[in-house]
Amino acid sequence: MTTTMTQPTLATAPPPPPGPEPAIRVEGLRKAYGGRTVLDGLSFEVDPGEIFGILGLNGMGKTTAVEIAQGLRSRDAGSVRVLGLDPERDPARLRPLVGSQLQSSALPERLRVGEALRLFTRLAGDVVDWRALADEWDLTRLRRSAFVSLSGGERQRLFIALALANRPRVVFLDELTQGLDPAARQATWRLVERVRDQGATVVLVTHFMDEAARLCDRLGVLQDGGLIACGTPKELVSAAGGSVRIAFSCERTADLAGLDRVPGVIAVAHDGRHVEIEAQARASVLVAAELARRDLAPPDFTVTAPTLEDVFVSLTQGVAR
């Protein structure tokens, strides 16, 4: 009897399901004013539910880009889709889905907080109860206060509440904490995180690096009309490389002999008791181990890594401010 052996058939795994569509997709965006090009082929995507930060020096087109994305300004070329809609061609359909706080936001001085909340929720179709909105954003106690009497932090809290009057799926925030004191800035950051936690996608334009590092899931750096870097804050810092600075005190400089031969150490400098070492990031552990081997344990041993601000300056250096 003859037995025919057949090759087993390997099951082919189905392709992974496609990821969610971007909340915002910008491709080849161009815009010029009077012959001066502001945006020149700008492209980026924003994922649903993330805080996407846009960084750039003044005059690099950050505000223009978000105004075009909201349908507040026309584009010269390129494609823009917000929640699948073209903001220039479908403004009526997009408007109920988007909230914004613009860089130049202001209200009439005598307008009361409660009046502003009632007005904005009414214009949005009363999809949100203005009293609940006031309670949620700690504005109830300010209902009878005129806009002119509000502090900077209170104004920003009101602007965020008004941006949410239509329960938007995408929120644009432009230079939200400019001019605020440190306490008001941190309080505003917590509000922005609440907006994201409630399910909205947030686009944040800022020039504060600590704000971007704290809030943003991803960042895009805008220069010369296009995006020159994009990623999480950690990814941008890691991709930029750069050395770390190791600093500590040492009573006997003779004990430092040979530290410059530790792998990854670039330079060793000391001024009396203070020692500074420039090294690759991985070398900080080796330096610490070498000090321990020499029975040195300085209590002020610190390692300072490059920051997002360092990366931003490095990426944009040489561009006129």
CATH number reported for the structural domain that contains residue 308 in this entry: 3.30.70.980
* 179 and 154 share one domain: yes
Give the whole-angstrom CA distance, residue 249 versus residue 300: 7
Q: Which residues contact 164 (CB under 8 A, 6 or more apart)?
A: 99, 128, 133, 171, 195, 200
Same domain? For 166 and 180 the reply is yes
What region does 59 belong to: left with phi over 0, alpha with psi -120 to 50, or beta? Answer: left
Check whether residue 250 and residue 210 sit in a common domain.
Answer: no
- The residue out of 210, 238, 266 marking a domain boundary is 238
Domain that holds residue 289: 242-316
| 147 inside domain | yes
Residue 201 lies in a domain: yes
What local confidence, expressed as pLDDT, does residue 304 receive?
87
Inter-axis angle of helices 152-163 and 113-123, to 10 degrees?
20
Number of domains in the chain: 2
CATH number for the domain harbouring residue 208: 3.40.50.300
The number of beta carbons lying within 10 Å of the beta carbon of residue 163 is 23
Do 178 and 74 share a structural domain? yes
Digit-coded pLDDT (tens) for 134-191 = 998 889 999 999 999 999 889 988 998 999 999 999 999 988 888 888 888 898 899 8
Asked if pLDDT for residue 293 goes beyond 70, the answer is yes
List of residues 6+ apart from 158 with CB closer than 8 A: 107, 113, 116, 117, 137, 139, 142, 147, 150
Q: Classify residue 3: in a domain, yes or no.
A: no
Instruction: For residue 193, report the phi and psi dihedrals to the nearest 5 degrees.
Output: -65, -35
- Single pTM value for the model: 0.79
Q: 144 with 173, same domain? A: yes
* Domain match, 191 and 260 both: no
Residue 14 belongs to some domain of the structure: no
User: What pLDDT, on a 0 to 100 scale, did the predictor assign at position 9?
Assistant: 41
